[in-house]
Copies of this chain bind each other. A is one copy, B any other.
Amino acid sequence: MIIVLRPDATEAQVNHIIEKVKVLGLSPHVSKGSERTIIGVIGPEDVLRITPLEVFPGVEKVIPVLSPYRLVSREFKKEDSVIDLGKGVKIGGKALVIMAGPCSIENIDRLYEIGRQVKKAGATVLRGGAFKPRTSPYSFQGLGKAGLQMLREVGSELDLVTVTEVMDARDVSLVADYADVLQIGCRNMQNFNLLKEVGVTKKPVLLKRGMASTVKDMLMSAEYILSGGNFSVILCERGIRTFEDSTRNTLDISAVAVTKQLSHLPIIVDPSHAAGKWGLVPSLAKAGVAAGCDGLIIEVHNHPEEAVSDGEQSLIPEKFSRLMAELKGIAGSVGREIL
Protein backbone atom coordinates (compact mmCIF):
# COMPACT_ATOMS: atom_id res chain seq x y z
CA MET A 1 0.00 0.00 0.00
CA ILE A 2 1.36 3.39 -0.96
CA ILE A 3 -0.12 6.43 0.75
CA VAL A 4 0.50 9.59 -1.27
CA LEU A 5 0.14 12.77 0.76
CA ARG A 6 -1.10 16.10 -0.48
CA PRO A 7 1.58 18.72 -1.10
CA ASP A 8 0.16 20.75 1.78
CA ALA A 9 -0.04 17.87 4.28
CA THR A 10 1.07 18.98 7.74
CA GLU A 11 3.56 17.25 10.02
CA ALA A 12 0.71 16.40 12.38
CA GLN A 13 -1.29 14.78 9.60
CA VAL A 14 1.67 12.67 8.55
CA ASN A 15 2.20 11.55 12.12
CA HIS A 16 -1.50 10.74 12.56
CA ILE A 17 -1.29 8.35 9.60
CA ILE A 18 1.98 6.80 10.69
CA GLU A 19 0.48 6.11 14.08
CA LYS A 20 -2.60 4.54 12.56
CA VAL A 21 -0.44 2.24 10.44
CA LYS A 22 1.57 1.20 13.48
CA VAL A 23 -1.57 0.52 15.52
CA LEU A 24 -2.54 -1.95 12.79
CA GLY A 25 0.75 -3.77 13.38
CA LEU A 26 2.46 -2.66 10.17
CA SER A 27 5.62 -0.67 9.55
CA PRO A 28 5.46 2.51 7.52
CA HIS A 29 8.37 3.67 5.33
CA VAL A 30 8.29 7.41 4.88
CA SER A 31 9.95 8.99 1.83
CA LYS A 32 10.05 12.77 1.59
CA GLY A 33 10.53 14.24 -1.85
CA SER A 34 10.62 17.78 -3.14
CA GLU A 35 6.99 17.73 -4.21
CA ARG A 36 5.36 15.01 -2.18
CA THR A 37 5.75 12.78 0.83
CA ILE A 38 4.76 9.18 0.39
CA ILE A 39 4.35 6.43 2.96
CA GLY A 40 4.98 2.89 1.84
CA VAL A 41 3.38 0.15 3.87
CA ILE A 42 4.79 -3.22 3.03
CA GLY A 43 3.10 -6.20 4.54
CA PRO A 44 -0.30 -7.86 4.60
CA GLU A 45 -2.51 -5.29 2.90
CA ASP A 46 -5.73 -6.90 4.03
CA VAL A 47 -5.66 -5.25 7.42
CA LEU A 48 -5.11 -1.90 5.74
CA ARG A 49 -7.71 -2.36 3.07
CA ILE A 50 -10.52 -2.17 5.58
CA THR A 51 -9.32 1.19 6.85
CA PRO A 52 -10.49 4.08 4.66
CA LEU A 53 -7.12 5.83 4.56
CA GLU A 54 -8.38 8.12 1.80
CA VAL A 55 -10.41 10.06 4.33
CA PHE A 56 -7.50 10.78 6.65
CA PRO A 57 -6.61 14.48 6.53
CA GLY A 58 -3.64 15.15 4.29
CA VAL A 59 -4.03 12.05 2.14
CA GLU A 60 -4.25 12.54 -1.61
CA LYS A 61 -4.61 8.95 -2.70
CA VAL A 62 -3.94 5.38 -1.64
CA ILE A 63 -2.43 2.96 -4.13
CA PRO A 64 -2.66 -0.77 -3.42
CA VAL A 65 0.46 -2.76 -4.34
CA LEU A 66 -0.65 -6.32 -3.77
CA SER A 67 -3.58 -7.88 -5.56
CA PRO A 68 -6.62 -8.45 -3.34
CA TYR A 69 -6.98 -12.12 -4.28
CA ARG A 70 -4.84 -14.93 -2.95
CA LEU A 71 -5.96 -18.46 -3.71
CA VAL A 72 -6.63 -17.88 -7.39
CA SER A 73 -3.26 -16.23 -8.00
CA ARG A 74 -0.22 -17.57 -9.82
CA GLU A 75 1.80 -16.68 -6.76
CA PHE A 76 -0.27 -19.03 -4.67
CA LYS A 77 0.08 -21.85 -7.21
CA LYS A 78 2.65 -21.68 -9.99
CA GLU A 79 1.48 -24.52 -12.22
CA ASP A 80 -1.76 -24.52 -14.21
CA SER A 81 -4.71 -26.13 -12.48
CA VAL A 82 -6.15 -29.12 -14.30
CA ILE A 83 -9.76 -29.78 -13.35
CA ASP A 84 -11.46 -33.11 -13.66
CA LEU A 85 -14.98 -32.78 -15.05
CA GLY A 86 -15.72 -36.51 -14.89
CA LYS A 87 -16.28 -39.00 -17.71
CA GLY A 88 -12.59 -38.77 -18.55
CA VAL A 89 -12.67 -35.07 -19.40
CA LYS A 90 -10.05 -32.78 -17.90
CA ILE A 91 -9.64 -29.08 -18.53
CA GLY A 92 -6.50 -26.96 -18.10
CA GLY A 93 -4.01 -29.41 -19.63
CA LYS A 94 -2.82 -29.86 -23.18
CA ALA A 95 -6.20 -30.97 -24.53
CA LEU A 96 -8.80 -28.31 -25.17
CA VAL A 97 -12.34 -28.97 -24.01
CA ILE A 98 -15.19 -28.06 -26.34
CA MET A 99 -18.62 -27.53 -24.78
CA ALA A 100 -21.57 -27.26 -27.13
CA GLY A 101 -25.32 -27.49 -27.20
CA PRO A 102 -28.49 -25.44 -27.35
CA CYS A 103 -29.09 -22.24 -25.40
CA SER A 104 -32.27 -23.63 -23.80
CA ILE A 105 -33.28 -27.23 -23.33
CA GLU A 106 -36.54 -27.48 -25.28
CA ASN A 107 -37.40 -31.17 -25.37
CA ILE A 108 -35.52 -34.42 -25.02
CA ASP A 109 -35.54 -35.44 -28.66
CA ARG A 110 -34.03 -32.21 -29.84
CA LEU A 111 -31.46 -32.22 -27.04
CA TYR A 112 -30.52 -35.78 -27.86
CA GLU A 113 -30.18 -35.02 -31.54
CA ILE A 114 -28.01 -31.95 -30.95
CA GLY A 115 -25.96 -33.84 -28.36
CA ARG A 116 -25.33 -36.63 -30.82
CA GLN A 117 -24.17 -34.23 -33.48
CA VAL A 118 -21.85 -32.13 -31.32
CA LYS A 119 -20.32 -35.29 -29.87
CA LYS A 120 -19.66 -36.59 -33.36
CA ALA A 121 -17.90 -33.32 -34.18
CA GLY A 122 -15.66 -33.62 -31.13
CA ALA A 123 -17.39 -31.89 -28.24
CA THR A 124 -17.06 -33.63 -24.87
CA VAL A 125 -19.34 -31.43 -22.80
CA LEU A 126 -23.03 -30.82 -23.48
CA ARG A 127 -24.45 -27.44 -22.54
CA GLY A 128 -28.14 -26.62 -22.21
CA GLY A 129 -30.14 -24.22 -20.07
CA ALA A 130 -32.91 -25.35 -17.74
CA PHE A 131 -33.10 -22.13 -15.73
CA LYS A 132 -32.84 -19.15 -18.06
CA PRO A 133 -32.03 -15.59 -17.00
CA ARG A 134 -34.15 -13.47 -19.32
CA THR A 135 -34.24 -9.69 -19.40
CA SER A 136 -37.99 -9.78 -19.98
CA PRO A 137 -40.39 -11.36 -17.49
CA TYR A 138 -42.54 -12.34 -20.45
CA SER A 139 -39.85 -14.48 -22.13
CA PHE A 140 -39.53 -18.24 -21.81
CA GLN A 141 -37.92 -18.92 -18.43
CA GLY A 142 -36.70 -22.47 -19.00
CA LEU A 143 -38.06 -25.93 -18.25
CA GLY A 144 -36.57 -26.03 -14.75
CA LYS A 145 -36.30 -29.46 -13.13
CA ALA A 146 -37.75 -31.22 -16.17
CA GLY A 147 -34.96 -29.73 -18.24
CA LEU A 148 -32.35 -30.90 -15.76
CA GLN A 149 -33.70 -34.44 -16.04
CA MET A 150 -33.45 -34.35 -19.82
CA LEU A 151 -29.91 -33.04 -19.61
CA ARG A 152 -28.83 -35.83 -17.26
CA GLU A 153 -30.50 -38.46 -19.37
CA VAL A 154 -28.93 -37.31 -22.62
CA GLY A 155 -25.54 -36.81 -20.94
CA SER A 156 -25.63 -40.36 -19.61
CA GLU A 157 -26.74 -41.91 -22.83
CA LEU A 158 -24.14 -40.08 -24.94
CA ASP A 159 -21.43 -40.19 -22.25
CA LEU A 160 -21.06 -36.42 -22.33
CA VAL A 161 -20.21 -34.22 -19.38
CA THR A 162 -23.10 -31.80 -18.72
CA VAL A 163 -23.04 -28.14 -17.78
CA THR A 164 -26.03 -25.94 -16.96
CA GLU A 165 -26.65 -22.66 -15.25
CA VAL A 166 -27.75 -22.26 -11.67
CA MET A 167 -29.30 -18.86 -11.01
CA ASP A 168 -30.51 -19.14 -7.47
CA ALA A 169 -28.77 -20.18 -4.26
CA ARG A 170 -31.88 -22.22 -3.42
CA ASP A 171 -31.39 -24.37 -6.52
CA VAL A 172 -27.72 -25.24 -6.09
CA SER A 173 -28.23 -28.67 -4.58
CA LEU A 174 -30.94 -29.52 -7.10
CA VAL A 175 -28.77 -28.56 -10.07
CA ALA A 176 -25.77 -30.30 -8.52
CA ASP A 177 -27.82 -33.49 -8.38
CA TYR A 178 -28.35 -33.46 -12.13
CA ALA A 179 -25.39 -31.72 -13.78
CA ASP A 180 -21.66 -32.36 -13.81
CA VAL A 181 -20.62 -28.70 -13.97
CA LEU A 182 -22.46 -25.74 -12.41
CA GLN A 183 -22.49 -22.60 -14.49
CA ILE A 184 -22.67 -19.15 -12.91
CA GLY A 185 -24.00 -16.76 -15.55
CA CYS A 186 -22.56 -13.34 -16.27
CA ARG A 187 -25.42 -11.54 -14.51
CA ASN A 188 -24.66 -13.49 -11.34
CA MET A 189 -20.87 -13.13 -11.32
CA GLN A 190 -21.22 -10.85 -8.32
CA ASN A 191 -24.16 -12.63 -6.72
CA PHE A 192 -21.95 -13.36 -3.73
CA ASN A 193 -24.37 -15.59 -1.88
CA LEU A 194 -24.67 -17.81 -4.92
CA LEU A 195 -20.86 -17.92 -5.17
CA LYS A 196 -20.64 -18.98 -1.54
CA GLU A 197 -23.23 -21.68 -2.13
CA VAL A 198 -21.39 -23.26 -5.06
CA GLY A 199 -18.17 -22.86 -3.07
CA VAL A 200 -19.32 -25.47 -0.60
CA THR A 201 -20.28 -28.04 -3.24
CA LYS A 202 -17.71 -30.40 -4.73
CA LYS A 203 -18.84 -29.75 -8.29
CA PRO A 204 -16.69 -27.94 -10.86
CA VAL A 205 -17.95 -24.40 -11.44
CA LEU A 206 -17.94 -22.52 -14.75
CA LEU A 207 -17.80 -18.84 -13.81
CA LYS A 208 -18.74 -16.42 -16.56
CA ARG A 209 -17.34 -12.93 -16.55
CA GLY A 210 -19.80 -10.14 -15.81
CA MET A 211 -20.53 -7.59 -18.53
CA ALA A 212 -19.08 -4.74 -16.48
CA SER A 213 -16.41 -6.75 -14.70
CA THR A 214 -12.67 -6.41 -15.09
CA VAL A 215 -10.49 -9.50 -15.18
CA LYS A 216 -9.55 -8.69 -11.58
CA ASP A 217 -13.23 -8.56 -10.58
CA MET A 218 -13.67 -11.99 -12.13
CA LEU A 219 -10.72 -13.33 -10.16
CA MET A 220 -12.19 -11.86 -6.96
CA SER A 221 -15.44 -13.70 -7.64
CA ALA A 222 -13.51 -16.91 -8.21
CA GLU A 223 -11.76 -16.24 -4.91
CA TYR A 224 -15.17 -16.46 -3.20
CA ILE A 225 -15.59 -20.00 -4.53
CA LEU A 226 -12.05 -21.16 -3.75
CA SER A 227 -12.16 -19.64 -0.29
CA GLY A 228 -15.30 -21.71 0.32
CA GLY A 229 -13.24 -24.84 -0.32
CA ASN A 230 -14.01 -25.53 -3.97
CA PHE A 231 -10.88 -25.18 -6.10
CA SER A 232 -12.49 -26.51 -9.30
CA VAL A 233 -13.27 -23.23 -11.01
CA ILE A 234 -13.19 -22.62 -14.77
CA LEU A 235 -13.26 -18.98 -15.85
CA CYS A 236 -15.09 -17.88 -18.97
CA GLU A 237 -14.57 -14.80 -21.13
CA ARG A 238 -17.87 -14.01 -22.88
CA GLY A 239 -17.61 -10.37 -23.84
CA ILE A 240 -17.95 -7.10 -22.00
CA ARG A 241 -20.24 -4.17 -22.60
CA THR A 242 -18.83 -1.34 -24.68
CA PHE A 243 -20.06 1.31 -27.10
CA GLU A 244 -19.53 -0.96 -30.13
CA ASP A 245 -22.94 -2.03 -31.36
CA SER A 246 -22.17 -4.38 -34.24
CA THR A 247 -21.81 -7.25 -31.77
CA ARG A 248 -23.90 -8.12 -28.73
CA ASN A 249 -20.85 -7.75 -26.50
CA THR A 250 -17.17 -7.05 -27.13
CA LEU A 251 -15.11 -10.21 -26.72
CA ASP A 252 -12.10 -9.17 -24.63
CA ILE A 253 -9.66 -11.59 -26.20
CA SER A 254 -6.80 -10.14 -24.15
CA ALA A 255 -8.46 -11.54 -21.05
CA VAL A 256 -7.13 -14.99 -21.98
CA ALA A 257 -3.48 -13.98 -21.74
CA VAL A 258 -4.05 -11.63 -18.82
CA THR A 259 -5.77 -14.36 -16.82
CA LYS A 260 -3.02 -16.84 -17.62
CA GLN A 261 -0.47 -14.40 -16.19
CA LEU A 262 -2.42 -13.67 -13.01
CA SER A 263 -4.03 -17.02 -12.22
CA HIS A 264 -3.56 -20.78 -12.38
CA LEU A 265 -7.21 -21.39 -13.23
CA PRO A 266 -8.28 -22.54 -16.71
CA ILE A 267 -10.17 -20.09 -18.89
CA ILE A 268 -12.51 -20.77 -21.79
CA VAL A 269 -14.08 -18.49 -24.38
CA ASP A 270 -17.77 -18.17 -25.27
CA PRO A 271 -17.88 -16.81 -28.82
CA SER A 272 -21.66 -17.18 -29.11
CA HIS A 273 -22.71 -14.72 -26.41
CA ALA A 274 -19.92 -12.33 -27.32
CA ALA A 275 -20.93 -12.15 -30.98
CA GLY A 276 -24.67 -12.53 -30.71
CA LYS A 277 -24.68 -13.55 -34.38
CA TRP A 278 -23.79 -16.99 -35.62
CA GLY A 279 -21.88 -15.64 -38.63
CA LEU A 280 -19.22 -14.19 -36.34
CA VAL A 281 -18.87 -17.22 -34.06
CA PRO A 282 -16.25 -19.17 -36.06
CA SER A 283 -13.88 -16.19 -36.25
CA LEU A 284 -14.08 -15.64 -32.49
CA ALA A 285 -13.78 -19.33 -31.65
CA LYS A 286 -10.58 -19.59 -33.70
CA ALA A 287 -9.21 -16.43 -32.11
CA GLY A 288 -9.86 -17.87 -28.68
CA VAL A 289 -7.93 -21.06 -29.37
CA ALA A 290 -5.05 -19.15 -30.95
CA ALA A 291 -4.94 -16.80 -27.97
CA GLY A 292 -4.37 -19.74 -25.65
CA CYS A 293 -7.69 -20.55 -24.03
CA ASP A 294 -8.38 -23.95 -22.51
CA GLY A 295 -11.70 -24.56 -24.17
CA LEU A 296 -14.77 -23.11 -25.82
CA ILE A 297 -18.48 -23.08 -25.12
CA ILE A 298 -20.56 -22.74 -28.26
CA GLU A 299 -24.28 -22.62 -28.89
CA VAL A 300 -25.39 -25.20 -31.44
CA HIS A 301 -28.95 -25.78 -32.56
CA ASN A 302 -30.26 -27.99 -35.34
CA HIS A 303 -33.28 -25.77 -36.08
CA PRO A 304 -32.31 -22.21 -35.16
CA GLU A 305 -35.52 -20.86 -36.67
CA GLU A 306 -37.44 -22.70 -33.97
CA ALA A 307 -35.09 -22.08 -31.05
CA VAL A 308 -36.87 -20.57 -28.06
CA SER A 309 -33.85 -18.42 -27.21
CA ASP A 310 -30.64 -17.20 -28.85
CA GLY A 311 -31.42 -18.79 -32.21
CA GLU A 312 -29.63 -15.96 -33.96
CA GLN A 313 -26.31 -16.84 -32.37
CA SER A 314 -26.49 -20.64 -32.71
CA LEU A 315 -24.45 -22.57 -35.23
CA ILE A 316 -26.09 -25.40 -37.07
CA PRO A 317 -24.32 -28.76 -36.55
CA GLU A 318 -22.79 -28.75 -40.03
CA LYS A 319 -21.11 -25.41 -39.47
CA PHE A 320 -20.01 -26.47 -35.99
CA SER A 321 -18.46 -29.59 -37.42
CA ARG A 322 -16.55 -27.63 -40.05
CA LEU A 323 -15.35 -25.19 -37.41
CA MET A 324 -14.04 -28.06 -35.27
CA ALA A 325 -11.83 -29.21 -38.10
CA GLU A 326 -10.23 -25.77 -38.36
CA LEU A 327 -9.86 -25.50 -34.61
CA LYS A 328 -7.85 -28.71 -34.51
CA GLY A 329 -5.29 -27.22 -36.86
CA ILE A 330 -4.95 -24.04 -34.85
CA ALA A 331 -4.70 -25.94 -31.57
CA GLY A 332 -1.82 -27.91 -33.03
CA SER A 333 -0.05 -24.72 -34.10
CA VAL A 334 -0.07 -23.38 -30.54
CA GLY A 335 1.02 -26.58 -28.85
CA ARG A 336 -2.41 -27.78 -27.81
CA GLU A 337 -4.77 -30.46 -29.08
CA ILE A 338 -8.42 -31.24 -29.53
CA LEU A 339 -8.98 -34.94 -29.04
Which A residues contact B (CB, under 8 angstroms)? 2, 4, 7, 29, 31-38, 40, 42-44, 46, 49-52, 54-56, 63, 65-66, 68-69, 75, 133-140, 167-170, 187-188, 190-193, 196, 210-212, 214-217, 220-221, 223-224, 227-228, 240-247, 250-258, 260-261, 274-275, 277-280, 283-284, 286-292, 304-305, 307-308, 310-312, 314, 326, 329-330, 332-334
Contacts and interface: CB of A to CB of B under 8 A. Distances in A.
A66 B254 contact: no
A2 B63 contact: yes
Contact of A288 (B287, B289, B314): B287
Q: How many subunits of this chain does the assembly comprise?
A: 4
* Best-buried of A240, A244, A252 by chain B (most CB within 10 Å): A244
B192 A134 contact: yes
Contacts of A308: 50
A227 B221 CA distance: 31
B42 A40 contact: no
Main SS of chain A's interface residues?
Answer: mixed
Contacts of A333: 326, 329-330, 332-333
A55 B289 contact: no
A54 B279 CA distance: 11
Contact of A253 (B134, B211, B251, B289): B251
Contact of A291 (B56, B243, B287): B287
Nearest to A260: B283
Given A4-B65, A29-B31, A38-B42, A254 B245 contact: no
B246 A7 contact: no
